[in-house]
Amino acid sequence: MHLPIPDSVLSAIRLPEPQIEQVLLHELAIALYAQELLSFGKARELAQMNKYEFGQLLGQRSVLRHYSLEELSDDLDYASCE
């Protein structure tokens, strides 16, 4: 999928050109996660970040983490495998 963004919009973004794509991916990932349209894993994949980095980004934006029972189970399984 390709999202068309008009050149007039791209040129209006007040960022250096090399940063625009990454910032837009971060913003989209945060927005979709905050609206519960993407899971944490898929949102961090979209943002091209690891779990820690995406968690930090959510914290900086005051976006609450959606923590499911499945994630809790995964974390408990991981913790018990020391």
Identify the pLDDT of residue 78.
82
The answer to whether residue 11 sits within a structural domain is yes
Identify the pLDDT of residue 75.
80
Could you report the per-residue pLDDT of 21-63, keeping only the tens digit for each?
Answer: 999 999 999 999 999 999 999 999 999 999 999 999 999 999 9
The answer to whether residue 27 sits within a structural domain is yes
The answer to whether residue 17 sits within a structural domain is yes
Whole-prediction pTM = 0.77
Residue type at position 28: L
How many domains does the chain fold into? 1
Q: How far apart are CA 1 and CA 77, in angstroms?
A: 36
54 burial type by CB count under 10 A (0-12 exposed, 13-18 middle, 19+ buried):
buried
Which structural domain, as residue segments, surrounds residue 44? 7-80
Identify the pLDDT of residue 71.
75
30 burial type by CB count under 10 A (0-12 exposed, 13-18 middle, 19+ buried):
buried
As a whole number, mean pLDDT of residues 6-34 equals 94
The answer to whether residue 1 sits within a structural domain is no
The answer to whether residue 2 sits within a structural domain is no
Q: Indicate the SS3 state at residue 28.
A: helix
